Chain A
Amino acid sequence: MIGSPLSPPAGSERVAARAHFGNAAPSAPTIKVDFFDEQVRRRRQTWRLSLACFAIALALSIAMSTLLGPLLLAITAGALKLGAWLGCGDACRGVARGIGGFARQDLILIADLFGSHPRSHAAGDFVTRMPAIAIVFLPSLLATACAWLIIRRGLSRAGMLDLVVAMGARAPRPTDTSERQLLNVTGEMALAAGLPAPRIMVVDSSIVNAVAAGVSHEAALVVVTRGLLDQLDRSQVQAVLAHCIGSIGNGDLGVMQSLLATLQTLALFHVILDFPFSRSARRALVGYAAAILAPSASPTRVWEASQGIEAIFDGHVDEPPTLVMIPLLPLRVLILLQRLVLVIWSGMVLGWPLALLWRARRYLADSSAVQLTRNPDALASSLQQFAAHAGVPQGGESRDYLFLHGTQRKSGVFERSGTFMSMHPPLERRLKRLRAMGAALASDNPGRRWPLPAIIVATVFGIIAVPLLVLAALLSLTVVVWSMVMAVFFSLTLGLMFLAWAFG
């Protein structure tokens, strides 16, 4: 064991940290952005976008609580009725009265606020009553949070490892030179990152692409195509591995599990609501519960189960109502309306922050690759090779978002849920960031210049249109909040009526 380190050299520590080991570049290209600063920027962006996603998901679950609230109340009433029939009548009656009192109080509060003289109540009054009103949403929010946690844990156990089976990946052969180099390069990058080396597998395909999957940074997997090994030289393969390992080390596996869990929780609640009406929903729900709750379900089984749940985003309205369902028709209409709201919201509102979040993680992984290799040129030139031989290996199409470079074909869950924005950052932007970090690439666009008349028109339009847009947004927000509260009021009344029937 060698002893402690020597005394420090003179000069800035960052320069020493950035020094190239080996040949020095004859004329270093200008570095406008240090990769550490780029990383800080992307991490902050991730935090902001995560907050946005969280706020939108919260609003969505509040909106869904309109139907979930009375459902929970009905289930509780049924359970209490059963308990009373089994023998502990007094206790159940007491609990029912407690729940009834709680719900009635909130109803009185809401009725008071929006009651006889709506205009005479000041805005401050509304704000002070807000915490009490918020408690109304609490049961369904708790239910949503529990579901999200369970789903995420199921996803993290499965670790997207079904990809390996679907793509037919194999272990690399040590006898082959480029695969031997691949193993060495992985070890080098794992050393540079201070992480355990991920498992490497190879897919025999001429497409150039790579993907990082796995459970966590301690049990990760990187799959690389044979085409990548053929087209890229050693330093470029090194840059690609640095991107994958950097992405794993930054926790992108967990980020993707959280994103998928969010979408799947939304889909799950709608499958639950569809439960009484559609046979495929029943099948999907039972399969999903079995896969998520089973301690040793295989990743393929979890994946197929979640595909069944995500089918709700496709928006099929199947199975015409039978005679038994006719009395429940109004409820079905309500549920269909709510599904429409879900699809619109998750596509148009939730989709954008999710896509931007994943793009920010991609940029972060790019800058981590530059940090690990200290060689932005390698990553930039390998990205260009990715674009030249673009594609996704067979079996991986539905996980398009995980791969290093995306294709035009969109079939993953994010696209099916309606996101118009691509999960992958555009290639030119990635190259531009790499150029700022010091890659010596020829610049294709020296910067577009807008003609002067276009600038004037755009400014005038902006001055007129922006206040109008802000007004429209505020108005629609008020309408949405009002209708949400009205819907909660309506559904709580329904629930209380059911409770009253259950206990006389």
Chain B
Amino acid sequence: MIAIAIACLAYVLWAYNRLVVHRNRIRNAWAQIDVQLHRRSELVPNLVACVKGTIAHEREVLKSIAEMRRQTYIAGSDIAARALAENYLARSLSAVTAEAAPQLRANQNFLALQEELRSSENRIAFARQHYNDCVMRYNAAVSSLPTNLVARLFAFGPATMLQASGSAAG
């Protein structure tokens, strides 16, 4: 009888620790998305310096990019506003890069910058993919049968995934 009780207690401890590990991975993945978004923002001044003199309506375009970048910082922890701002920033960066590319084809700096921007977009996408994978594993652990009792006991709720369309942050 005592052996069964000890076994149950051991299982509860093990399941709780597993859920904590999964939840921490989710939080870590979420923070990682933030880091990659910040990395992309850091590239904007380089891009601005590089494309000076090659695109039409340069002043307005560059001013609006700077403004959108400022918006992402202002949005802070408001997810909807942050998502919107990051989306706008991403679109204008790709538009500006596409427009300047034909003229700056031979410019080594610009090519390197283009590669860095492409890599940043990829990193943001893969960080979100990793976040979704972590959420999936966590949700599987929370809802599978023996563990979900422990989860309910310690108030581990299911986490939410990011949508592919980019309506969430990034």
| Residues of A participating in the B interface, judged by any CB pair closer than 8 Å | 1-3, 5-9, 13-14, 16-17, 19-22, 177, 180-181, 184-185, 187-189, 191-194, 371-372, 374
* Contact indicator A187/B132 (Cβ below 8 Å): no
* Contact indicator B119/A8 (Cβ below 8 Å): no
Name the A residues within 8 Å of B167 (CB-CB).
6
* Contact indicator A21/B79 (Cβ below 8 Å): no
Name the A residues within 8 Å of B161 (CB-CB).
5, 8-9, 13, 16-17
* Contact indicator A189/B126 (Cβ below 8 Å): yes
Residues 78-121 of chain B, each 1 if its beta carbon lies under 8 Å from chain A, else 0: 11001000000000000000000000000000011001100100
B119 nearest in chain A by CB position:
A184
* Contact indicator B123/A17 (Cβ below 8 Å): no
* Contact indicator A13/B139 (Cβ below 8 Å): yes
Residue from the set B25, B28, B79 with the largest chain A CB neighbour count within 10 Å? B79
Q: How far apart are A9's CB and chain B's nearest CB, in angstroms? A: 5
**Top 6 closest A-B pairs, CB basis?**
A19-B164, A192-B126, A21-B125, A184-B119, A8-B160, A3-B77
| Residues of B participating in the A interface, judged by any CB pair closer than 8 Å | 25, 28-32, 34, 36, 76-79, 82, 111-112, 115-116, 119, 122-123, 125-130, 132-136, 139, 158-164, 167-169
Task: For A192, give its contact among B28, B119, B129, B169 (CB under 8 Å).
Answer: B129
Q: How far apart are B56's CB and chain A's nearest CB, in angstroms? A: 27
Q: What are 9 sample pairs from A and B whose C-beta atoms fall under 8 A apart?
A: A2-B82, A2-B169, A6-B168, A13-B161, A16-B161, A21-B129, A184-B116, A191-B123, A192-B126
Q: How far apart are B77's CB and chain A's nearest CB, in angstroms? A: 4
* Contact indicator A16/B163 (Cβ below 8 Å): yes
* Contact indicator B31/A1 (Cβ below 8 Å): yes
Name the B residues within 8 Å of A9 (CB-CB).
161, 163
* Contact indicator B130/A17 (Cβ below 8 Å): no
* Contact indicator B77/A177 (Cβ below 8 Å): no
A374 nearest in chain B by CB position:
B129
* Contact indicator B111/A177 (Cβ below 8 Å): yes
* Contact indicator B132/A180 (Cβ below 8 Å): no
Q: How far apart are A157's CB and chain B's nearest CB, in angstroms? A: 27
B31 nearest in chain A by CB position:
A1
Bound-complex Cα distance A211 to B87 (A): 38
Task: For B134, give its contact among A21, A185, A187, A194 (CB under 8 Å).
Answer: A194
* Contact indicator A13/B136 (Cβ below 8 Å): yes
* Contact indicator B129/A16 (Cβ below 8 Å): no
Q: How far apart are A378's CB and chain B's nearest CB, in angstroms? A: 13
* Contact indicator B163/A5 (Cβ below 8 Å): no
Q: How far apart are B31's CB and chain A's nearest CB, in angstroms? A: 7
Task: For A184, give its contact among B32, B76, B115, B132 (CB under 8 Å).
Answer: B115
* Contact indicator B132/A191 (Cβ below 8 Å): no
* Contact indicator A191/B32 (Cβ below 8 Å): yes
Name the B residues within 8 Å of A8 (CB-CB).
158, 160-161
Bound-complex Cα distance A253 to B30 (A): 28
Name the A residues within 8 Å of B139 (CB-CB).
13
B161 nearest in chain A by CB position:
A16
Name the A residues within 8 Å of B36 (CB-CB).
191
Q: How far apart are B11's CB and chain A's nearest CB, in angstroms? A: 21
* Contact indicator B130/A194 (Cβ below 8 Å): yes
* Contact indicator A14/B136 (Cβ below 8 Å): yes
Bound-complex Cα distance A63 to B146 (A): 43
